[in-house]
Amino acid sequence: MKAIEILVGEHDSILKMIEVTRIILNSDDETINLEHVEQIIDFIKNFADKYHHLKEEDILFVEMEKFGMSREFGPIGMMLHEHNEGRNYIKLAGESIEKFKNGDRSAFEQIKYNLLNYCELLTNHIAKENNILYPMAERILPAGVLSAMSEDFKISNASTFENEYFDRYLKLVLYFSEIYLN
Ligand SMILES: [Fe+2]
Ligand SMILES: [Fe+2]
């Protein structure tokens, strides 16, 4: 599989979990499945932010910089800014869940607010990468760089802690898709 196809595949998994999140958040503070919300936050922190965003930040964007793109300005600067905005929403959502679990019912709205903002942000972010940034990468990066990157991605996906990339996170996407998206 090509490097960009691996990244687009990860986007598809993230988008499914965003759809699931919106469905789960469509309940009230009495009926919400908090355990599933916490599993989604864990997925976002590890699969989306660690395994996916770090492939972009530490590998793809770095290669694009070598071929003349700025890390501070333009599309890469914007993508990095959005990764940080996303991290902030997830941090705040996690804090609100703790408050809610400790009996603060008013924290429910904060959980919803931060997670829905994250879903909106990431949906737009992914569209920009799929439609603008990734095609740009395929234009400016030499074939050899792209194929080395693909090997790199395959090796890192196959060597995660307890194979969690596949056995925990991709399985969770399938499991939640069956429950919520059928
Ligand atoms: Fe990104
Ligand atoms: Fe991405």
Q: Which ligand is nearest to the CA of 121?
A: 1
Give the DSSP letter of residue 163: G
Ligand 1 mean position, distance from CA 86 (Å): 10
Give yes or no for residue 182 having a pLDDT over 90: no
Cα angle 109-28-37, degrees, rounded to a multiple of 5: 75
The predicted-structure confidence for 74-109, as pLDDT tens digits, reads as follows 999 999 999 999 999 999 999 999 999 999 999 999
**Residue 57 has what pLDDT?**
98
Give the start-to-end residue ranges of the domains of the chain: 3-180
Ligand 2 mean position, distance from CA 42 (Å): 17
**CATH homologous superfamily for 3-180?**
nmb1532 protein domain like (1.20.120.520)
Q: How far apart are CA 16 and CA 164, in angstroms?
A: 18
Q: What is the pTM of this model?
A: 0.97
Ligand 1 mean position, distance from CA 32 (Å): 29
Give yes or no for residue 112 having a pLDDT over 90: yes
Calculate the CA 165 to chain-centre distance. 13
